[in-house]
Amino acid sequence: MSFPIVEILGVPVASLTMREAVEQAEQWMDERRGALIATANAEMIMNATRDEELFEILRAADLVVPDGAGTVWAAHHLGYEMPERVAGYDLVQALLKEAPKRGDRVFFFGSAPGIAESAKNKAEKLYPGVQIVGVRNGYFTAEDEPEIINEIREAKPDILLAALGVPKQEKWLKKYREELGVPVSIGVGGTLDVMAGNVRRAPKWMQKAKLEWLFRGLLQPKRAGRLVALPKFVLRVHRAKKGRKR
């Protein structure tokens, strides 16, 4: 499959639907591709403008999906089509839902101790028959990494969900991509925390109103500083649009 690409501040974001994203991930699992999927919201894209390593990882990723209303807005503002938001959390749920029928094996890696286990229990209740073949928290040192890599390799997952936060998860997955040998790896941020019930997701009406970012800021005041990235993102995109017209 190939999708139209929209460059947002230099980050190549695919213009696709949730269904297309799921089908692409499943195709790569079938092909044993070793694909890296990134879920780019406005904050990640702004991080990439300051972090050259993250920027290059996103440029080289097999697929960057538009995770966030800001990303979809940016595409539209720049004059491109972007059919819908492909939120990382929703992408994970869609893949888990299909996994029992396909026999896909899944590994949860990241978040605080106990979170991945709770997310596993939740997944097994929501998606009977799903094979969560391993869990590992995201608290580790460089000395622990060979053991973690071996644990993931021995579990033989078809898909690895890394919840280490941006940009750590993207850098870790890129660094060990060859050693891990996993058909599809995705950086999923706080997805495991939401699944475990440790973090609430915005109500549906706020999601539809594109206010999920505000809900997170109100629920987690420590994120307030990170939300400053949003108005900066809007200004950068607007300047980029004006610059193209010159």
**pLDDT tens-digit readout, 166-205:** 999 999 999 999 999 999 999 999 999 999 998 665 566 5
Q: Kindly report the length of the chain.
A: 246
> Does an H or E element contain 10, and which?
none
Among residues 165, 153, 115, the alpha carbon closest in space to that of 135 is found at 115
Residue 75, C-beta contacts closer than 8 angstroms, at least 6 positions apart:
6, 8, 13, 15, 66, 81, 82
Least confident of 143-157, 199-213, 224-238: 199-213
CB 109 within 8 A of CB 140: no
CB 196 within 8 A of CB 118: yes
- Give the pLDDT of residue 141: 96
Quote the mean pLDDT of the chain: 91
- Give the pLDDT of residue 208: 63
Q: Give the confidence band of 234 by pLDDT, cuts at 50, 70, 90.
A: confident
Report whether pLDDT(101) > 60. Answer: yes
Read off the pTM.
0.89
CA 170/CA 39 separation, integer angstroms: 10
**pLDDT tens-digit readout, 20-76:** 999 999 999 999 999 999 999 999 999 999 999 999 999 999 999 999 889 999 999
Q: What is the mean pLDDT of residues 208-224?
A: 53
- Going by the DSSP 8-state scheme, the letter that residue 47 receives in this structure is H
CB 133 within 8 A of CB 154: no
What ranges make up the beta strands (E) of 79-145? 105-110, 131-136
Joined tokens for residue 39? 């879920």
Chain Cα centroid distance, residue 28 = 16
Joined tokens for residue 55? 């920027």
- Give the pLDDT of residue 1: 78
CB 213 within 8 A of CB 233: no
> Does an H or E element contain 115, and which?
helix 115-126
- Residue 231: CB atoms within 10 A of its CB come to 10
**pLDDT tens-digit readout, 107-161:** 999 999 999 999 999 999 999 999 999 999 999 999 999 999 999 999 999 999 9
Least confident of 79-93, 100-114, 120-134, 201-215: 201-215
> Does an H or E element contain 62, and which?
none
Beta bridge partners of residue 64, listed in sequence order? 38
CA 150/CA 240 separation, integer angstroms: 44
CB 5 within 8 A of CB 64: no
